[in-house]
């Protein structure tokens, strides 16, 4: 069995939805489809999830929200009309939205999750109803019906391991096509709890793992994963084959085509992921598997928004427990760090800016007080550039080629790091040099 997931632009209007259903209905293996909320139909459009967040903002401020609720319902009603759906679901959707607003009156996080989840939930119901109207046996299944239990962390849910078997049991009793809303699961009480943004990919992966699918197809609006950001490089090449580990490295530093948490359910069973294009479904796209024949560098990614805290202390290398105490300070502040390059008497911690924004001053004081460092400084606006590829392990000269390219483009390197797995090389550079750096590396390797 193949599990397919369709992103927001693939289900943004009737025309796209018809393409989606054509992809599913013309293949017996494609039985389960996970759908996102309607995304943007054009560059200036607003995703339904964002319309729902606007509705939430109004409710929270106790302001009149008629316009916001109407904006959401109008999007769905235009999809229904374009599809010529016989029985409208809009009145039902209105009642559901109003019931959430009433029920979670004093629970803002629950309300936000219930409203956010409605984009996928309503879209799945419309798509299933339309496919049934076409005479194809189709069932809409909600995460509640599926017993898709997740941790009770609004906006950041994690699947509970017992869910896989429970979901499989439900699916095995159903014939025909199954349409499932992405992006959320339920807690023990049945409240909707969403994954992080872009989380429909995670739902797809959970389903693929639950039914032990032979393939997880992730349909989007590009024909696979590009070797570099297409907003920086004109028509970059498409990566045909990747491993899970390479994919993780690339998505860590800026590749947004596939949610990095979505790989987790797939690792264990080794279920392959095929990133494909709804608008060009015959294109082979990018296949992500456990292993692949090793070739050189496959991709370059870059992400901004890192801060480096640099510390110096004379004889740091002789001071037993220094790093442990540093890490426990980070723990007290509930901060996770990304990298920790070090010398004999100096150490830096690289953290994502959003982790430290309002804690930085207090963190610096705590480090000064508890570790008695000689010097401490903060450098912000750092970009992390990753060069990724299995082949690096056996190829000599990758670092040389990269540093030469940086030199030619006059880019100053702040940091270099290569993990022991040797599938990626990381470079810290000034955030303003991001575009030049990606161009320099892409031109050198591709």
Residues that bind ligand ASP (CB under 6 A): 8, 36-37, 47, 49, 119, 182-183, 197-200
Are 414 and 382 a contacting pair, CB within 8 Å? yes
**155 vs 296, beta carbon nearer ligand ASP:** 155
**40 vs 435, beta carbon nearer ligand ASP:** 40
DSSP bridge partners of 123: none
Minimum distance from CB of 154 to ligand ASP (Å)? Answer: 14
**20 vs 360, beta carbon nearer ligand ASP:** 20
β-pair type (2-6, 138-140): unpaired
Are 228 and 285 a contacting pair, CB within 8 Å? no
Selection from 171, 167, 179, 168 nearest residue 140 by Cα: 179
**198 vs 285, beta carbon nearer ligand ASP:** 198
Measured distance CA(233)–CA(227) in Å, rounded: 9
Give, in order, the Cα–Cα distances in Å from 366 to each of 308, 336, 340.
16, 16, 18
Measured distance CA(178)–CA(145) in Å, rounded: 12
Minimum distance from CB of 197 to ligand ASP (Å)? Answer: 4
Are 386 and 248 a contacting pair, CB within 8 Å? no
Are 225 and 242 a contacting pair, CB within 8 Å? yes
The residue sitting closest to ligand ASP, measured at its beta carbon, is: 200
Minimum distance from CB of 274 to ligand ASP (Å)? Answer: 17
Block residue for tokens 């429909």: 200
**218 vs 223, beta carbon nearer ligand ASP:** 218
Minimum distance from CB of 267 to ligand ASP (Å)? Answer: 20
**68 vs 434, beta carbon nearer ligand ASP:** 68
**183 vs 427, beta carbon nearer ligand ASP:** 183
Residue by residue, DSSP assigns 280-347 as: STTS--EEEES-----S--EEEEEEEEEEEEEE-TTGGGSTTHHHHHHHHHHHTT---SB--B-SSEE
Minimum distance from CB of 119 to ligand ASP (Å)? Answer: 5
Are 409 and 437 a contacting pair, CB within 8 Å? yes
Minimum distance from CB of 151 to ligand ASP (Å)? Answer: 18
Minimum distance from CB of 283 to ligand ASP (Å)? Answer: 21
**182 vs 236, beta carbon nearer ligand ASP:** 182
Minimum distance from CB of 260 to ligand ASP (Å)? Answer: 13
Report the alpha-carbon angle 190-195-201, nearest 5. 115
């Amino acid at each position: 069995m193949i599990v397919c997931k369709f992103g927001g632009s693939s289900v943004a209007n009737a025309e796209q939805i018809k393409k989606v259903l054509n992809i599913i209905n013309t293949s017996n293996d494609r039985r389960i489809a996970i759908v996102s909320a309607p995304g943007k139909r054009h560059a200036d459009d607003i995703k339904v999830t964002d319309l729902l967040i606007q509705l939430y903002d109004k409710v929270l401020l106790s302001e009149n929200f008629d316009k916001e609720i109407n904006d959401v319902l109008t999007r769905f009603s235009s999809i229904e009309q374009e599809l010529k759906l016989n029985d409208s679901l809009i009145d039902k959707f209105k009642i559901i939205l109003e019931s959430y607003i009433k029920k979670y009156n004093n629970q803002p996080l629950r309300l936000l999750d219930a409203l956010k989840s409605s984009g996928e939930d309503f879209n799945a119901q419309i798509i299933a109803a339309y496919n049934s109207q076409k005479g194809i046996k189709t069932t809409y299944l909600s995460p509640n019906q599926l017993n898709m239990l997740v941790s009770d962390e609004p906006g950041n849910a994690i699947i509970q391991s017992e869910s896989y078997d429970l979901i499989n049991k439900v699916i095995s009793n159903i014939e025909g096509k199954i349409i499932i809303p992405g992006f959320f699961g339920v807690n023990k009480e049945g409240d909707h709890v969403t994954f992080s943004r872009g989380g429909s990919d995670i739902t797809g992966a959970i389903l693929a793992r639950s039914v032990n699918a032979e393939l997880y197809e992730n349909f989007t609006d590009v024909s696979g994963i590009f070797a570099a950001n297409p907003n920086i490089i004109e028509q970059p090449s498409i990566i045909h084959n990747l491993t899970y580990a390479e994919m993780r490295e690339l998505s860590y530093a800026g590749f947004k085509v596939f949610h990095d948490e979505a790989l987790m359910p797939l690792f264990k069973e080794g279920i392959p992921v095929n990133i494909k294009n709804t608008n060009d479904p015959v294109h082979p796209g990018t296949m992500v598997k456990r292993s692949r024949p090793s070739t050189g560098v496959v991709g370059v990614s870059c992400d901004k928004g890192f801060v480096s805290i640099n510390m110096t202390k004379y004889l740091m290398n002789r001071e037993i427990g220094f790093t442990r105490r540093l890490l426990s300070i980070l723990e007290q502040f509930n901060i996770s760090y990304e990298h920790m390059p070090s010398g004999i008497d100096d150490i830096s911690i690289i953290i994502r800016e959003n982790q430290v924004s309002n804690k930085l001053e207090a963190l610096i004081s705590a480090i000064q007080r508890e570790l008695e460092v000689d010097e401490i400084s903060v450098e912000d606006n750092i970009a992390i550039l990753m060069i990724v590829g299995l082949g690096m392990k056996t190829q000599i000269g990758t670092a040389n080629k990269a540093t030469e390219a940086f030199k030619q483009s006059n880019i100053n390197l702040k940091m270099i790091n290569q993990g022991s797995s040797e599938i990626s090389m990381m470079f810290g550079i000034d955030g303003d040099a991001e575009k030049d750096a990606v161009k320099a590396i892409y031109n050198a390797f591709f």
